[in-house]
Amino acid sequence: MALKEQFEIPGGLKKWSYALMGVGALTLILGIVFLHPFSGGHGEAHGAEAYGATKFWMALMHNSIFWLLVVASSFFFICATTLAQGGWPLAFRRVPEAISGGMNVLGPVALVVLLAYVWISDDHHIYHWKDASHLDEKLKAKSGFLNPTFYTVLSITAVGLWMWFRNWFRKNSLAEDLAGKGDTSFYWKSLAIAAAFLVTYGLTVLSTLPWMWLMSIDAHWYSTMYSWYTFASSWVAGISLMMLFVVYLKNLGYLEFVNDEHIHDIGKFMFAFSIFWTYLWFSQFMLIWYSNQPEETEYFIDRVGIPGQPGPFKAIFILNLLINFLAPLLILMKRGSKRNYTIVTLMAVVIIFGHWLDFYQMVTPGPLQELGQESNSISHFLYSLGIGAGFLGLVIFLTAKYLAKAPLLAKNHPLVKESVIHHT
Amino acid sequence: MSVKKFVVGCFDDEKTLFPAVKNTRKAGYKIHDVYTPFPIHGLDHAMGLRDTSLHTAGFIYGITGTTTALTFMSWVFTKDWPLNIGGKPNLPLPAFIPIVFELTVLCAAVGMVLTFCYLCQLAPFVRKDHFHLRATDDLFVMPIEITDKTNAEEVKAFFKSAGAVEVFEKSAETGWWLGRYDSTKKAFEKEEEIVTA
């Protein structure tokens, strides 16, 4: 059989991505028509319309941030393995390269959503700090960090830099394909790009950006672990997304050099980083639970409630632990299950959904607490799910587009052989 | 413990070792083991060894640690000696988790190390026969057991044709024993016959 190097987008995939994007667009239009995103929310006007606007922006922010961080984390995967001079992912490296291409669209989308909320929308239930007239003493103390201008500058800089590094890396990788066989200058350049990106990523997603984008939703509350925890969530979801695409391409007969060992290694990443996520989740929870300081526990009271008075998010909170920790731990523990295409596919879907749910319970409870308990309805969950379907369709569409643009094997990379003969 | 007779083939390169291992299995000889100076990827597969069960043992040790920690702490803090610590409930599960985790890891790690040592027949004060001392330096050593059905001369000829740099016959103790290396002298009583190819 000839080497199937060039990906051609199958009609089925196209149809699915269009259908999902259609669902998302429909949800978005329904939201614009019925939830009045640009009106209400200010001052005394706490009507149903104000709640609508909050829900609309929450669903958009939750999904745009989640999917942006997920596609960005697949570029983080490339850079981490490149800098460690790891050869094994070379057989499928074009897949995370293509997934991270989604940043070129999802980045601007997320920026438009976030900045539109901060600058245009009248609603202030999500970011209390954005309205200077509503600041209490604690928020005033934080206003050097939490203010619309700094928010805008940091968001645009961070997302812009990620996209720039990603496109530079990709350009370098494609140029390597055309160059001569023994030319390692592209390889050394890719190491430098990877190192620079990792520093950027470390200073944004791994430390400051989730504080600003997500933690400031509960503006009075703070946790220094929060960014790591957010990163762990997006990172394990990103690995799972990569696994889905690798298995999909493998089933279509592409990625000839990917064998059980590569699948096993991606499976190990899914398993290990599920536990890493749990470790951070638990460290954050236990310290707050143990010290029992009111200004810290409020975050968890909004979610699980207090004994005898369960909070509205208790079910999601527990489900989150079950499918993000217990399921990967027990199901992916065995060697055989990390090599079984059906099981890893199933677990990848479960993990992506689980971490989408994790982001849902990061974003939603704070504002909904303000709106009153009755506002936590199935309808908001479904609305968020609809928007999420749109983003998923977009991710599939963009990944397929970038996959089809280049050969599936970076054949001139000096470490390709290491990946081809990879075994345990 | 038993002394068995072996024909030992020594190779100085992985590239000749791998085909030799493959051909030995094809010829139906029983490979006792292959001793190498460093771990070689894929050698276990070439020798046809089954996957180790060490991880299953590790899981069982880990579960033992988990249940020990959980049951002991629950019993102490609910039945034996309940204490009010910072107004927390008597069964504070989150506070138990770090200890449960530590004990799980401790039991799994120590148990697996001991099991590994047992499987490799490694322990302090315990001795084992070497087939060739240079197996710890730069030689790949493959002994084949000589039974009633195997012809030693035939095996020697086979090794030489497979590219061995050194072939000899040796009686060796296969098990481990407590004591000093002096006692190995018994195993070496039969004269060693060294053929250099």
Over residues B147-165, mean pLDDT: 89
Binning pLDDT at 50, 70 and 90, where does residue B87 land?
confident
- Residue % of chain B over a pLDDT of 90: 46
Least confident of A113-117, A206-210, A374-378: A374-378
Who contacts A30 (Cβ-Cβ below 8 Å, separation ≥6)? none
Instruction: Work out how many CB contacts closer than 8 A connect A with B.
Output: 21
Computed over every residue of chain A, the mean pLDDT equals 90
Whether the CB-CB separation of B90 and B78 falls below 8 Å is answered with yes
Give the type of residue at B10: C
Q: What are phi and psi of B126, to 5 degrees?
A: -105, 140
Amino acid letter for position A206: L
Residue A32 C-alpha from the chain's centroid: 24
**A224: three-class secondary structure by DSSP:** coil
Cβ(A26)–Cβ(A386) below 8 Å:
yes
Cα(A38)–Cα(A55) distance, integer angstroms = 12
What CA dihedral angle connects A106, A109, A115 and A121, to 10 degrees? -140
At residue B181 the predicted structure's pLDDT band, cuts being 50, 70 and 90, is low
**Chain B residues touching A289 at Cβ < 8 A:** 94
Q: Hey, are the CB atoms on A335 and B98 less than 8 Å from each other?
A: no
Least reliable range by pLDDT among A5-14, A31-40, A80-89, B109-118: A31-40
The pLDDT value given to residue B189? 52
Most confident by average pLDDT, A361-375, B10-24, B56-70: B56-70
B186 confidence band (pLDDT: 50, 70, 90): low
Residue A262 CA: distances (Å) to CA of A93, A255, B141: 11, 11, 31
B3-11 and B140-145 as β-strands: parallel, antiparallel, unpaired?
antiparallel
Give the closest residue to B125 by CA, choosing from B115, B133, B117. B117
Q: Please say whether the beta carbons of A360 and A316 come within 8 A.
A: yes
Interface test with A, best of B18, B40, B41 (most A CBs within 10 A): B41
Give the model confidence (pLDDT) of B89-103 as tens digits: 889 899 999 999 999
Instruction: Collect all residues with Cβ–Cβ distance below 8 Å to B31 and sequence separation of at least 6.
Output: B21, B24, B25, B47, B142, B143, B144
For the cut 70, the answer to whether the pLDDT of residue B183 exceeds it is no
DSSP A127: -
The whole-number average pLDDT for the span B104-127 is 92
Whether residue A42 is predicted with pLDDT greater than 50 in this model: the reply is no
Q: Tokens representing A251?
A: 């089933």
Higher pLDDT, A398 or B184: A398
B41, A286: Cβ pair inside 8 Å? Answer: no
Is the pLDDT score of B34 beyond 90? yes
pLDDT at A377 over 80: no
Is the Cα torsion angle A133, A134, A137, A143 positive or negative in sign? negative
DSSP B35: B
Q: What confidence score (pLDDT) does residue B1 get?
A: 61
Average pLDDT over residues A119-131: 86
pLDDT of residue A119: 92
Interface touch B95/A290, C-beta < 8 Å: yes
CB contact under 8 A, B94 and A333: no
Can you give the pLDDT at residue A47? Answer: 53
Which SS3 state, helix, strand or coil, does residue B188 take? Answer: coil
DSSP A319-339: HHHIIIIIHHHHHS-SHHHHT
Residue A191 pLDDT: 95
What number is the average pLDDT over the span B140-169? 90
Q: From CA B138, how far away is CA A314, in angstroms rounded? A: 62
Q: Is B90 an interface residue toward A (CB < 8 Å)?
A: no
**Domain ranges, ordered by start, for chain B:** 3-35+130-196, 54-119
pLDDT at A138: 87
Q: Which amino acid is at B144?
A: I
* pLDDT average, residue stretch A52-80: 94
Phi, psi of A190 (to 5 degrees): -65, -35
**Cβ(A314)–Cβ(A302) under 8 Å?**
no
Please list, residue by residue across A267-299, b when 16 or more beta carbons sit within 10 angstroms of its beta carbon and e when fewer do: bebbbebbebbbbbbbebbbebbeeeeeebebb
Burial pattern A48-81, b for ≥16 Cβ within 10 A else e, equals: ebbbbbbbbbbbbbbbbbbbbbbbbbbbbbbbbb
In sequence order, the β-bridge partners of residue B196 are B166
C-alpha dihedral sign at A259, A264, A265, A269: positive
Does A417 have pLDDT greater than 70? Answer: yes
Segment A232-237 mean pLDDT = 96
pLDDT, chain B, mean: 86
Task: From residue A191, give the alpha-carbon distance in Å to each of A30, A38, A238, B188.
Answer: 46, 45, 21, 57
Provide the shortest C-alpha distance from residue A286 to chain B (in Å). Answer: 6
Among the residue ranges A72-81, B6-15, B168-177, the one predicted with the least confidence is: B168-177
pLDDT the model gives residue A366:
85
Question: Among A282, A335, A424, whose Cβ lies nearest the Cβ of B97?
Answer: A282
- Which of A34-48, A345-359, B115-129, B167-181: highest mean pLDDT? A345-359
Q: Is B40 on the interface with A (CB under 8 A)?
A: no
Q: Identify the pLDDT of residue A48.
A: 53
Measure the CA–CA gap between A227 and A210, rounded to whole angstroms: 5
Fold of B3-35+130-196: Alpha-Beta Plaits (3.30.70)
Cα gap A250→A92, rounded to integer Å? 10
Question: Which one has a higher pLDDT value, A167 or A181?
Answer: A167
pLDDT of residue A44: 43
Q: Distance (Å, rounded) from C-alpha A348 to C-alpha A344?
A: 6
- Contact, A107 vs A67, CB < 8 A? no
Mean pLDDT computed over B6-28: 91
User: What confidence category does residue A2 fall into, taking pLDDT thresholds of 50, 70 and 90?
Assistant: low
The tally of CA atoms less than 13 A away on the side-chain side of residue A148 is 13
pLDDT-derived band at A50 (thresholds 50, 70, 90) equals low
What is the distance between the alpha carbons of residues A251 and A7, in angstroms, rounded to a whole number?
13
Q: What average pLDDT does the segment A86-112 reach?
A: 95
- Lowest mean pLDDT across A102-116, A147-161, A199-213, A303-317: A303-317
- Rounded to 5°, angle at Cα A366 from A361 and A371: 120
Contacts of B97 in chain A (CB under 8 A): 282, 286
- Residue B194, pLDDT > 70, answer no
Pick the closest to residue A107 from A176, A182, A187, A163 (CA basis): A163
